[in-house]
Structure 1
């Protein structure tokens, strides 16, 4: 998800970085060898091109839209099989709180195009939602099936997988240490700077912030109710939908940041935490994952060994 502002910098190793906009979000790559930055950037762009062609809900010609329109089993690419498998795994691990079949409901709420093309207020759409859940999706190897009328949205998990894939690919083709930041979904690979990748986590210039050091191979994801938001009639909505209610999750949390061994794992927990509200505290605590949750009153809750250096926090 696009989340709290992220800034990262390496120390003790000469680093180079590139910033750009894509998918209506800020993207960033840092490598520990300035000579390979151009190669690294091209590798990331190539990976993102492939993921967009495979899984973009906003591209009518994307493979995932063809699959949904087919309405019967079809063989899909290895990449889409990986992305769809990741979405189904996230659904299973969260008891359906992170569900890839919410696409139709997002359209109904007004998120029917890339967020850059939306106005702050959207028209009220007629009801189009077909009752659906992730268990209706079939995937066996590279053969997938989606019932006709079910609209898939792999947004959160696909972006997290993209970060993991981009970091791994850059390290594979350059040998350099790398941090990839796709709108707050951060993955790393290769040798990290001596004191780790320094990442600043904050909601904005006037919000509580925290600096964390990511070691090599670790990832961080932040989910937010502050970004990708709009108004539907008189109601404020955002892009993280609770599949059980069909509405945007109650904004108990402004942001949820989680550290895990992969960006997919971190994103799965951070997204589900937004949906679970206050129940997320015990759930994350049981998983012993470092996490930082900023509630609607801007109070910070840290769990699982997250550095407890915020000036205004609760446990």
Structure 2
């Protein structure tokens, strides 16, 4: 997207606060472009305008810090220099990424940058199917073992480059939610591309309704989740892809093979109170596939819930979400 769309509107809406009377409650809506996607923040409360602006500024700051393509970002400079003393945010995310790499047995891997570049999934590059030799060369630097951390200094092996795109939006939404709460906002909904973050409940105390996109028709949903104070993150092959010689190639790369993940899934939606983890797991479980994801859930059910849509259009929901997910299509439940 080439143009920055930004529109912030202060809307005064009547809200019933007590059964004995009514009061005016401020609602502030803001739409802006960051992290290569359109984002919106809708917040309620007397301090909603200043809170939303502070949250937006934080997201934009993190975008400048963590972008893989911006020449002024720390990630870009680290990828070029291979050794660098980094800021607290960058250190936190790289450290957390290594932990999640271990947790997911390598399904989440921020060293995917050379592979993503070979496939042309960056702005300004042409999509193409790389040669086998190009993939093998890119794989030489893949894996968390190629990242060394000592104090605040990150060292990368010669063939290693990082891309935090699979975790940065989750981290940004978590930081933005904290800022909203610190500024007195107890009711808000943020949409950061495929990431949705609810702060508290709706102003009337009801849960927020978050729709899950139908991978076969982006104008429709396959169901809705009722949530409060949680993150909902969806990853799917339908979000970014190209076609060559009748074959579709999507942007979620399995770093074990160097090719787009062929896991039998069309999309994975993660629900968690940990935004950063939710963002990383939506990619990880997509790469794992349904069976391995089910095993992973049984061992880590306290951390997240998930909704899976298979290539056949089947819907599977973890048992900790069965009462908050609704779909006219019906679904199977994955138990611990």
- The bucket for the TM-score relative to the shorter chain is 0.7 to 0.9
Q: Output the CA distance in 2 between the equivalents of 1:205 and 1:66.
A: 36
2:281 matches 1:263:
no
Higher relative contact order (CA 8 A, sep 6+): 1
C-alpha displacement of 1:214 = 1.6
SS in 1 for 2:94: helix
Deviations 1:236-279 (A, max 9, x none): 22221111111110152211111112111222322111101132
Higher strand share: 2
C-alpha displacement of 1:97 = 0.7
Where does residue 8 of structure 2 map in the other structure? Answer: none
Residue pairs, 1:122-271, within 5 angstroms? 122=128, 124=130, 127=134, 128-131=137-140, 132-190=142-200, 192-193=202-203, 194-203=205-214, 204=217, 207-216=220-229, 218-231=230-243, 235-250=247-262, 252-271=264-283
SS in 1 for 2:71: coil
* Greater Rg by CA: 2
The answer as to whether partners of 1:110 and 1:232 remain within 8 angstroms in 2 is no
C-alpha displacement of 1:106 = 0.6
The answer as to whether partners of 1:197 and 1:213 remain within 8 angstroms in 2 is yes
Aligned residues: 298
The answer as to whether partners of 1:68 and 1:149 remain within 8 angstroms in 2 is no
Deviations 1:17-73 (A, max 9, x none): 33344334231212122x54432342233222222222111112311121222223x
C-alpha displacement of 1:149 = 2.9
The answer as to whether partners of 1:269 and 1:284 remain within 8 angstroms in 2 is no
Deviations 1:173-200 (A, max 9, x none): 3444332221121233356541122222
The answer as to whether partners of 2:35 and 2:169 remain within 8 angstroms in 1 is no
SS in 2 for 1:292: strand
- Cα 1:232–1:155 shift into 2, 3 Å: farther
In structure 2, list runs of 5 or more residues that go unmatched. Answer: 1-14, 18-24
Where does residue 105 of structure 2 map in the other structure? Answer: 95
C-alpha displacement of 1:290 = 2.5
Q: Output the CA distance in 2 between the equivalents of 1:145 and 1:215.
A: 39
- Cα 1:118–1:129 shift into 2, 3 Å: closer
SS in 2 for 1:50: helix
SS in 1 for 2:69: coil
Where does residue 326 of structure 2 map in the other structure? Answer: 309
